[in-house]
Amino acid sequence: MSRDDGDDGNSAYGRKAFKRSKAHFADRITADGRDGWPVEAGRYRLVVSRACPWASRSLVSRRLLGLEDALSLAVADPIQDDRSWRFTLDEDGRDPVLGIRYLSEAYDARETGCPGGVSVPAIVDVPSGELVTNDYQQLTLDLATEWTALHREGAPELYPDRLRDEIDEVMTDVYEDVNNGVYRAGFAHTQEDYEAACASVFRRLERLAERLERQRYLVGDTITEADIRLFTTLVRFDAVYHGHFKCNRWKLTENQVLWGYARDLYQTPGFGDTVDFDHIKRHYYQVHTGINPTRVVPLGPDLSGWLTPHHREELGGRPFGDGTPPGPVRPEERVPAAHTPGTD
């Protein structure tokens, strides 16, 4: 997620045609280091915002794969200023590893004045302080396939060879109509654009519900990258997309299949324990001043339902395949208890 998705800053959201910027830095960190960035434990730092669905993909993947020791984590403040993502959650307002106040400093260390804005997720090379990649589409696929030597024992296969064609097909539809579709609806500046985008969102959600009515996961009988990508939008749906982005034909909680599916994933280790609803709500409602000029953050929705029984196990499936769930969340990465479902 980039502060410059609307091209002219926060106040421009909803006032001009929305177009998502492509990742400008598409280098890959690979086992063979062919782009000059070899997989190496401790060398890189993942920078995220817990508010951002694109960054949340990497949070889920990193935890499921057990890469906490290999790839350190920096969490940005959900509220951006004119220089975009900042480290004001850390002591003295600096990331303790990179020593910078703004993620833009790592971008500038790589290329000054780069196009496309400053976005998360981003991976920074710790020794040089340079940005390596902000390619949110490829980043998690590489964590699943190129970082295998550093995966925990029992890590699941999130992008298995035998299912990649089907996973890619599902992810393409999910991206166009759901992941990016809610933004096209929320930032539409004409009634026609809004109605077209909103219709696409719900048309795709209904098709996904039909698919998930007969199977526990999107592809195969285990969790894959496709589930991660759909989950990060669904978990934000009622909290921000339904109201803030006007995707309000129905709520997630009103669709029995998708609500059960989302709760199933949320209650699976590696998913819900990375979610911070406080960060999510404050970012969308306080940063997107072009569509919420008052910056007032709503009190709802009620989050307690996320922990209720989902009964999706009746469809079969094995969340981690032949693997095992990740262990407990590390204390320093735990979402504050006051912001978890059932405690508001």
Catalytic residues: 52, 183
Between the two ends of the chain, the Cα-to-Cα distance in Å is: 27
CA distance 146 to 34: 11
Task: Classify burial at 197, counting beta carbons within 10 Å of its beta carbon; exposed 0-12, middle 13-18, buried 19 or more.
Answer: buried
Full DSSP string of 122-171 = EEEETTTTEEEE--HHHHHHHHHHT-GGGSPTT---SS-GGGHHHHHHHH
Sign of the Cα pseudo-torsion (267, 272, 277, 278, in order): positive
**Single-letter residue type at 30:** T
**Single-letter residue type at 4:** D
For residue 335, what is the DSSP state?
P
DSSP β-bridge partners for residue 73: 46
Helices (H) and strands (E) in the chain, counts: 9, 4
Full DSSP string of 271-323 = SGGG--HHHHHHHHHHH-TTT-TT-PPP-----GGGGS---GGGG---TTTTS
